[in-house]
Amino acid sequence: MMLAAAWLALLLAAPAAATGAAPVEPTAPASDDAPAREPVASPGALAVDAVLPCGLRVLIARDLTLPVVASVLAVETGTEDDPKELPGLVHALAFHLLEGNREWSPGGITRMIHDGGGVTSLAVGAAQVRFEALAPASLLEDLIAAEASRLRAPSVSEALWKDALRWARRDRSRGSNVPPAVRALAFDVEGLAHDGRVVTPELEAQSPRAIEAQLAERFAYDRASLVLITPQRPELVFNLVLAAFSDLPPGPRRSRDRTTPPRTGAVPRELSIKGGGGALVWPIAPDPASQAWASVLCGAVNRLKRAASEPTRVRLRCAIEDEPRRAVMVLRPSGSDDPVALVRQRFERLRTDELELLDKERATVAEQLAHELRTPLSLARHLARNAPVRASEPETPGEAPPMRALAELLATTALQPLVPEGGGTPDPWPPALASLFELGGAVRAVEPAKAAPK
């Protein structure tokens, strides 16, 4: 998290220097372990990033294309935080938060947004839970008020818990091709090894008091971020947010650092597991650069043609399994007697002879990223999932709409050209890419050896 915050500070410093724009009054770092402070929002800011006294992190950016507001309340808790004896707890609690609180009837926030023409969604991941909305801009104040009350004094009763579990049971939409145990090993996080979407009899037996306690512990504003993309000026929206959260007691931010130290080495760790299929799985660090470079590498691997020395049956396919904080890159070799050697050779070719292909893919991914982040909800999700923007760039008349600049900035700054001016090889390689080239950082999931026939 600290690394990400530092990277983001650089991210915004660079264009300000490049364009000769007036330097922005620096705000205190909004890192997770920083003490709560009075936030500062510069007038005319490109984006606002601040931590409120109550510990909530707030990110606001501006989009003028359409009169809509995108809102994401991201809570830094997830299914990997389930207690061992209660798998599925966080998933069920997330659904319970749709059951209302002292200000809203069950489903009331959702209904308010839908009745205004907006749409809502809930995303429960291994390390993050997000309440998302895209609504007409006229609902901005209502939306802020709703998010300011969502986690406060949720209504709890046996009937509501039963209803929440009913919805939780129905949520089977997402599936992964990577066995949970492999993901757990890749991140060295034991909590990833279980199915976080189950509804067990133990969950059903939870008392209202226990549910209340679990909600208070896991779903609190001091471990959440609120991202808003609106047509209004960020500093004005910030004032509305500040007012809506002003009655919460002050306290430090309590978000967990989920960074997994990168592993190095030439040999992947091996895990024998049913359904492994020989895949090599790399953890992707939870920062925009690592995610962007993983996409670049994956795309380049898929485009790389077979070398003349390789047998014709050899194949290597790559895919990214996206997930906030816990994304993985999966390589599936086939037709090779030595799959690890095949991957090693392909990586080596990309670093040397095929560097141009890698750089071309970088440009493509940067373009795709800027294109993808142009819509408010995509950008809000991206900011909520990644370490957020911290400082602000002054807006002057005639400049590009601020959100556009932000989206482009996020895309292009994450992916600087690989080939230095005048040619040659990168020196140094971007750390995010270099760690993905490390075979020691991967877990190889192999099928268990079949028992010898009797």
Site residues (vs another protein, CB under 8 A): 64-68, 70, 115-119, 134-139, 231, 367-368, 370-371, 374-377, 400-401, 404-405, 407-408
Choice between 380 and 442, CB closer to another protein: 380
SS3 274: coil
Answer whether 27's CB lies under 8 Å from 390's CB: yes
Judged by beta carbon, residue 138 or residue 425, the one nearer another protein is 138
Least distance to another protein, CB of residue 317, Å: 20
Whole-angstrom distance, CA of residue 345 vs CA of residue 406:
37
| Exposure letters 105-143 (e unless 16+ CB within 10 A, then b) | ebebbbebbeeeebebebbbbbbbbbbbbbbeeebbebb
Least Cβ distance, residue 43 to another protein (angstroms): 22
**Residue 337 Cβ, how far from another protein at the closest point, in Å?**
35
What is the smallest separation between the CB atom of 369 and another protein, expressed in angstroms? 10
Residues paired with residue 163 on neighbouring β-strands, in sequence order = none
Minimum gap (Å) between residue 444 Cβ and another protein: 33
Burial of residue 83 (CB within 10 Å: 0-12, 13-18, 19+) is exposed
Task: Please name the amino acid found at residue 230.
Answer: T
The residue (of 115 and 421) whose beta carbon lies closer to another protein is 115
What's the min distance (Å) between Cβ of 137 and another protein? 7
Q: Which is nearer to another protein, 108 or 278 (CB)?
A: 108
Give the residue with the Cβ less far from another protein, 394 or 431. 394
Q: Smallest distance from the beta carbon of 135 to another protein, in angstroms?
A: 6
| Residues 295/337, Cβ–Cβ less than 8 Å | no
Q: Could you tell me if 438 and 265 are in contact, meaning their C-beta atoms sit under 8 angstroms apart?
A: yes
Contact 218, 59 (CB under 8 A): no
* Minimum distance, C-beta of residue 140 to another protein, in the bound complex (Å): 8
Nearer to another protein, 138 or 177 (CB): 138
List the Cα angle 80/414/127 in 5-degree steps. Answer: 10
CB of 376 to another protein, least distance (A): 6
CB atoms within 10 A of CB 167: 16
Residues 6+ apart with CB under 8 A from 259: 1, 3, 285, 286
Distance CA 291, CA 283 (A): 10
Our CB check for another protein shows the closer of 350 and 411 to be: 411
Q: Which residues are CB-contacts of 337 (< 8 A; sequence separation ≥ 6)? A: none
Q: Which is nearer to another protein, 54 or 379 (CB)?
A: 379
Q: Which is nearer to another protein, 107 or 265 (CB)?
A: 107
Query: What are the residues facing 49 on neighbouring strands?
Result: 59
